[in-house]
Structures are given as structure tokens and as C-alpha cells.
Amino acid sequence: MDNDDKPIGKILNRREALAALGLGVGSLLASRGAAQPNSLPACIVRPALTEGPYFVDVRLNRSDIRSDPQTGVVKPGVPLQLRFVVSRVAPGTCTPLAGALVDIWQCDAQGIYSGVVDRFADTRGQVWLRGQHLTNDQGIAQFTTIYPGWYPGRTVHIHFKVRYQNRDFTSQLFFDDALSDRILAQPPYAKPGTRTRNANDAIFRNGGQQLLLELTPLGQGYAATFDIGLNL
């Protein structure tokens, strides 16, 4: 595994998730407004994962993170509309959390990050594919980005951090391998080498199945909504 630290955090099993909501294991839980037995609400807490070495607190408040504001360069790639729905988890309820600061950062189509120096490139001073946005009254923060590329040792992923008051939660989002196979075989993604798949990624194995995005086609790209609850 290259370029990311050891995974941290704890994966919640069903019993622990129910306990976070103040519900018994036998309770019926509302999922997207419908009571269903043996289900968890959409806002359930997700596992925390490593921040890695590539977080840069650029404090760049924007929804479209594809460009570098200094040079105007826009990173090419398959468009991705990514919407976070952040909720406050309380006993028996999930309520929208307004005013939470959501940061995302990712590599470009060729597996390079901005704002850092590593064995792949020196991009210090650049801030493409980085940004942050506050959640609105519905707990929503939305970003326009691209489908990420890959680099040796890691599966395809996007980093995110949610900050609220004096607390923060950091994790990663993952993608279906079959979809990545199709997208990454085309320009501007295609490159030589063997990509690490989800099952072989040490960080994904620490809870990535709960962090897989469900993408739907949107124009020339895709859209995804990710629900996450903070147990404050």
C-alpha cells in the first residue's frame, strides 16, 4: 500500500449502529421515510478511515472543484456530481445537520494530487480537485468533480472530511470495480500498470463496503448521493 497511512476508526456492526440511535436490536427503523424491519436508517454512522498524507487545508469554499482558480486549468475527466447529506444522529432520530463543513480531495485522472510533493509529481501551490462547502438547512453539501483516477497501491477513491464545531470525521468513498474498469480504460485515464482493486486494498477492507458510492448516469457523467450521520 503506497501513500496512505494505516486505516483508523471502527466499523459499526448492526447492534452498535442501533445502539448509537438509542434503539433496541429488535426495533423497526425508518429508512428514507419508510419503516422496514431489520434495516438501518440512511443516516447511519459510517466507518472512519485514514486521512492519508494528501489533506491540505486550502479553505477554498466552492462547489465545483475541478479547476485551479489561479491558472484556470480544469482537470479533464468523467463528470461526477457528488452530494453529501449530513445528519445528526440522536436517540431514535436523524435530523439534517446545517453548518457542517465538508471537505473533499482526490487525485486527477492520472493519479496525481494537487498541493503536495511525492514520488509522482510536485504540485505544490496548485489546488485543483480540492474544496469545501457548508451544508445547508437540509444538511446537503454538493460538489462537481470528476471520476478519480488511480495510483499504485490504492483502489479508486475520494477523501472527505466533515467538520462541525470542535469535531471532525474523516473517511473515504469508493467505487464499483466494474465501472472503474470501463472508465479507466478510456482517455484521459488510460495508462500502463496494474490497478489495485477494492478487495486488495487494505483501507477498503477496513469498512469500504459501507462507503461504496451508488452512481447513476447523469448526462455525460454520473451522480451520487452519500448519506452520513454524525453521532454528536
Tens of pLDDT along the chain (232 residues) come to: 444 544 433 434 444 544 544 433 322 222 222 233 334 445 667 788 888 889 999 999 999 999 999 899 999 999 999 999 999 887 778 899 999 999 999 999 999 999 999 888 999 999 999 999 999 999 999 999 999 999 999 999 999 999 999 888 999 999 999 999 999 999 999 999 999 999 999 999 999 999 999 999 999 999 999 999 888 7
Q: Is residue 75 part of a domain?
A: yes
H or E element that contains 183:
helix 177-184
Q: Is residue 8 part of a domain?
A: no
Buried b (16+ CB within 10 A) or exposed e, 131-159: bbbebeeebbbbbbbbbbbbbeebbbbbb
Q: Is residue 47 part of a domain?
A: yes
Q: Is residue 9 part of a domain?
A: no
Domain count across the chain: 1
Domain that holds residue 107: 14-230
Q: Could you tell me the pTM of the whole model?
A: 0.84
Q: Is residue 62 part of a domain?
A: yes
Q: Tell me the three cell numbers of residue 96.
A: 439534517
Please give the biggest Cα pair distance in the chain.
56
